[in-house]
Amino acid sequence: MKLRVNRGLAVLLGAAVILLCVGAGAGTWLLIRQRGPQRPEISVYSHGHLTRVGPYLYCNVLNLDDCQQPRAQGELPVSERYPVQLSVPEAISRAPWRLLQVYEDPTNTTTTMFRPGTRLAVTIPSVDPLRGRLTGIVVQLLTLVVDPSGELRDAPHAEWSVRLTF
């Protein structure tokens, strides 16, 4: 009788060990599996507030008609006393990218171009003495296209947007 109890206990323990191994393997697979294409996110920070946002628009660089438009837009509370710090990931920094700074008067928008591999972060005053309050930041990845008139120009194939609130 004693032998029978030990054999039953051994079978039960063996089954438990097998179930634990299968569970650990499945858990590991869930943690390390590929989750489809991850789109880059930008980070914007000012005086204790951080916003991370994915793209507003993301197109195939070879076919600008093939776009995903999640229309994600970040929002960041800011104060006139503290600047805004923008960080872009290496995936954006590796390419030519453009920063648009939008002010209260939209005709005062400024544009800054960055060459590939030159900048991962930019500090921007929240108030410009000539343009007023900064109301938005737009980051664009660019590609060259030929427009209908045959002119070569740059066009965004990806765009990230953050609205600033005072």
Instruction: Parse the chain into domains and list their residue ranges.
Output: 1-33, 42-165
For residue range 92-137, what is the model confidence (pLDDT) as tens digits? Answer: 999 999 999 999 988 889 999 999 999 999 999 999 999 999 999 9
Distance of CA 68 to the CA centre of its chain: 14
Residue 27 pLDDT: 57
Q: Distance between alpha carbon 123 and the CA centroid of its chain, in Å?
A: 18
Give the bridge partners for 99, in sequence order.
112, 139
Q: How far is residue 44's CA from residue 73's CA, in Å, rounded to a whole number?
A: 12
In DSSP notation, 52-74 reads EE--SEEEETTEEEEEE-----E
| Amino acid type, 23 | G
pLDDT the model gives residue 38: 82
pTM (2 d.p.): 0.76
pLDDT of residue 106: 80
What parts of the chain have a pLDDT lower than 50?
Answer: none
Q: How far apart are CA 157 and CA 56, in angstroms?
A: 11
